[in-house]
Amino acid sequence: MQKIAEFAEITPSADIRREAHGWRAKCLQRLVRLDLPVPETVALPAQTVRAIAAGHPVDAKAILSHFGPVPLISVRPSPENPDWGGPGTVLNIGMNAAQHARLVETNGREAADALYLRFVQAYATHVARLDPDMFDSGKTNADSLRDALRHYEREMEEAFPEDPAQQLSEVLRSMARAWEGTSARLLRQAKGAPVEAALGLVVQEMAQGIGQGISGSGVMQFIDPVTGLPLVKGRYLGQSQGRDALKKTEAIYLTRDKRGPSLEDIAPEIFADLIRHGAVCRQKLREEMQIEFTIEDGKLSVLDAIKVQRSARAGLKIAVALADDGIISREEAVLRVEPRALSELLHPQVDMRAARDVFAKGIAASPGAAVGRIVFSSQAAQASAARGEPCIMVRRETAPEDIRGMHAAVGVVTERGGVTSHAAVIARGLGVPCVVGASGMRLDTKDKRLVAADGRVFGEGDLITVDGTTGDVLAGAAEMLAPALDDTFRKLLGWADSFRDIGIRANADTPADAATARQFEAQGIGLCRTEHMFFDEDRLVVMREMIFADTSKDRAAALARLLPMQRADFVQLFEIMAGLPVCIRLFDPPLHEFLPHSREGLRELAEALDRPLSEVTRRAEALAEFNPMLGMRGVRLGVVLPEIYAMQAQAIFEATVEVARKGAPVVPEIMIPLVSARREVELVKTHIDAVAASVRVKTGVAFDYKLGVMVETPRAALRAGEIAQHAAFLSFGTNDLTQMTYGLSRDDAGRFMNTYVQQGVFPEDPFHTLDVDGVGELLLIGAERGRATRPDLTVSICGEHGGNPESIGFCRKAGFDYVSCSPYRVPLARLAAAHLAL
Ligand code: PEP
Ligand code: MG
């Protein structure tokens, strides 16, 4: 078989291509073009490496002869993308008895032994596949080299190869084969590498880092990898090679440092050269690079430069600084920041450098992390907050009556639930870190204890950390990083806004949510779930009175007490949103959600209403439904008990007038939930128009409003054509629409969702990423039929999917006017929308 030796010398004009020779070869060529002192290097293209892996013999002599009488060389992996990994670098190829003897003469025995031993260790473990433990005793002494050579000979039943050409061809072969191995393939595919991803290899003359004058090696970068702020960072180690300086404790600092000697002290000119090289790299490679360098007898070589590893916050700082310095465009800065990485900046995070004592894992339902003491009830959470003690509320699952506890808690953990269960939705709205469906722990509510899978028991008051970004629950107080909502963050999102072409609103129920939405520069409120306004203690009582009213007069009296409270809510929302659109959804949940579930609660209610317990219990039972999510809720309540919607409409219009009188015009948007038939809309519209007319007459103020429909049932999507006759806008509530399209309970799906996704029944949790095939088709049909009736119809989505980048992509393509998501997801949505438009 003919030997192959296809390679390219890395010179400024050589034809080195990333697709053929890999990122490292391309990067080295750039360094060469920048006139950096890069040792002689050649690149083997992927095609050659593939042939080597397939068994073609290599003409290593031809490669070696390129380097002339150079003693030693190294081989490094060069895949197309640095994230795809690759086999480890092998240094000091060419080392043999003759080279050893020569190096003993020039550099002394210790140095010569160290170089040789390093090569024998690498060769024995990577090429001959011998047990690495046998070649790394931890300590290196005068006998180590001899022992390693002997051990090699014993195991392989042949002497350690002396011929540099044989050494090189074996190293190339083993690296080429390692790339084809199953585990390497799975690992890189997990990082997004395509199946056909190939490996290039880079062969480089060794700059040895060992010598008489100043000699050593090190690694230098110019920013802090956690904050992204300018900072020279790295280590240098005399008489060393490769990345040793990062591993050994005796390595020294680069810049002058109180703690000990530094490279700047011992070699100020070389230090200055490195700083200069770093600046050139940043300018010309348009990236913050980490430089690997070697000094041999006072001569500096730059062996390699890789993109600095960075946290999300550092990534954002770097991108904005590069654009501010005119090195990259604003478009590119926006594209360089991954939308999902933003959530790391909005909330405190567990410091990734710290140890993690995880005792339970669940679904990451609301990002960020918090440390607090365990409480098992809403009351305990409120008591804890009143004492000024941060607490984490741990529940089997949460119900509407837990809202106050969730407000009071800094984090929430539930044993059950999925991404759209009550706890998850509320926690995201509040910006409270939350883990739901936490398996690996057992909640014993009676004894108020939490038993971890490993047997550890946590009681009320024990300190834990909830990491809603990863879904982990940790014992004790983990080290935290503060949020990073600074000017850089705002600047990048401002740039993103100038590129995107779909609106972003927020789902906001309370003034606090609205303030968050403004802070994150949402373009309005796309969904205000008004029922969340009725859970405050004082309102809940009146609400319950309304529910238990025997006559329509009594009901009207209770509603009249709720009216000013609602009006005040809307005034606040309109004022905070200062002229931006506010879309208010009329009351949606089944009434029994407002009733206590425990006997104790019912007794308290009987007392408050001054009625016998038996009657209260009977009425509560009568309101209970077998399938409340498909029962008397949404517009069905609006049709059967029109007084509730009438009160809400009156509150909305009166608030409109009040705010307009102060000089800020408001055009409220009123949205009807859970519609499935045109007639429902007609009936509600008639009532609301009448209320509007009466408020206009009463106040003498003219105002406008828009009435729209929330499309949450498959039938509403199919009949959107006729529904749009009465609706100025349609907003798809994809939580319920997903639930009803699949016939899949959004509160219970967590139980089997993992299995379903693992077994490929669903590609992903459809409550998390929009099911474009099924639910998506209903969205397209609804939008198309609605617009056919009314070309100026505003179309949007307000389910949890509104904050999911893939789902935003779907809505954008379908020509939706805006998406609406939890306030804390607004920044992510703004950036994701810009990515889609660029
Ligand atoms: C929905 O169903 O998508 C929605 C936004 O409403 P909710 O989550 O309040 O049911
Ligand atoms: Mg809904």
What's the 674 CA to ligand 1 centre distance in angstroms?
Answer: 9
DSSP letter (8 states) at residue 38: P
Choose one of 513, 529, 745 to mutate for the ligand 1 pocket test, by most ligand atoms within 8 angstroms of C-beta. Answer: 529
What's the 365 CA to ligand 2 centre distance in angstroms?
Answer: 18
φ and ψ at residue 363, rounded to 5 degrees: -90, 130
Mean pLDDT confidence for 29-48 = 96
- C-alpha distances (whole Å) from 714 to each of 678, 732, 742, 802 are 13, 10, 10, 18
126, 422, 726, 768: the catalytic one is 422
27, 798, 811, 821: the catalytic one is 798
* Residue closest by Cα to atom 1 of ligand 1: 733
Mean pLDDT confidence for 110-129 = 92
Mean pLDDT confidence for 361-386 = 91
User: Are 448 and 442 in contact, with CB atoms under 8 Å apart?
Assistant: no
Classify the complex by whether its ipTM is higher than 0.95, answering yes or no: yes
Does residue 534 register a pLDDT over 70?
A: yes
| 3-class DSSP state of 515 | helix
Nearest ligand by distance to the CA of 531: 1
Nearest ligand by distance to the CA of 801: 1
Residue 681's pLDDT is 98
Sort strands 441-444 and 449-452 into parallel, antiparallel or unpaired.
antiparallel
Residue 139's pLDDT is 67
Does residue 259 register a pLDDT over 90?
A: no
**Three-state SS string across 170-221, please?**
HHHHHHHHHHHCHHHHHHHHHCCCCCCCCEEEEEEECCCCCCCCCCEEEEEE
How many alpha carbons lie under 13 Å from residue 73 in its C-beta half-sphere?
29
Residue 532's pLDDT is 80
Alpha carbon distance 506, 366 (integer Å): 16
Give 421-467 pLDDT, tens digit per residue. Answer: 888 888 887 778 999 999 778 998 788 999 998 899 999 999 999 99
Sort strands 358-366 and 472-475 into parallel, antiparallel or unpaired.
antiparallel
Does residue 483 register a pLDDT over 80?
A: no
Q: Any residues with CB less than 8 A from the CB of 806 and at least 6 apart, and which?
A: 769, 770
Sort strands 582-585 and 525-529 into parallel, antiparallel or unpaired.
parallel
Does residue 2 register a pLDDT over 80?
A: no
Mean pLDDT confidence for 165-172 = 96
User: Look-up: residue for tokens 């837990």?
Assistant: 402
In ligand 1, the atom with minimum distance to the C-alpha of 733 is 3
Comparing CA positions, the residue from 104, 499, 199 lying closest to residue 331 is: 499
User: Look-up: residue for tokens 């199946």?
Assistant: 195
Let me know if 798 is a catalytic residue.
Answer: yes
What's the 731 CA to ligand 1 centre distance in angstroms?
Answer: 10
Nearest ligand by distance to the CA of 798: 1
Q: What is the CA radius of gyration of the chain?
A: 33
Q: What residues line ligand 1, using a CB cutoff of 6 Å? A: 527, 529, 588, 712, 733-736, 798-799
Sequence-distant contacts of 745-750: CB under 8 A, at least 24 apart: 745/629, 746/418, 746/420, 746/421, 746/629, 747/397, 747/417, 747/418, 747/420, 747/421, 747/422, 747/629, 748/416, 748/418, 749/418, 750/363, 750/416, 750/417, 750/418, 750/419, 750/421, 750/436, 750/437
* Residue closest by Cα to atom 9 of ligand 1: 529
Nearest ligand by distance to the CA of 738: 1
Choose one of 527, 736, 797 to mutate for the ligand 1 pocket test, by most ligand atoms within 8 angstroms of C-beta. Answer: 736
* Residue closest by Cα to atom 10 of ligand 1: 736
Total Cβ atoms within 10 A of residue 286: 15
Q: 595-604 b/e with 16+ CB inside 10 Å = b?
A: bbeeeeebee
In ligand 1, the atom with minimum distance to the C-alpha of 739 is 2
Let me know if 532 is a catalytic residue.
Answer: no
Partners of 257 in beta bridges: 260
**Domains in the chain, CATH or no CATH each:** 8-205 (no CATH), 216-310 (3.30.470.20), 349-481 (3.50.30.10), 500-528+581-588+634-837 (3.20.20.60)
Mean pLDDT confidence for 814-825 = 95
In ligand 1, the atom with minimum distance to the C-alpha of 736 is 2
Partners of 223 in beta bridges: 230
In ligand 1, the atom with minimum distance to the C-alpha of 799 is 3
Global pTM value: 0.81
Residue 1's pLDDT is 67
What's the 27 CA to ligand 1 centre distance in angstroms?
Answer: 50
Comparing CA positions, the residue from 768, 770, 688 lying closest to residue 732 is: 770
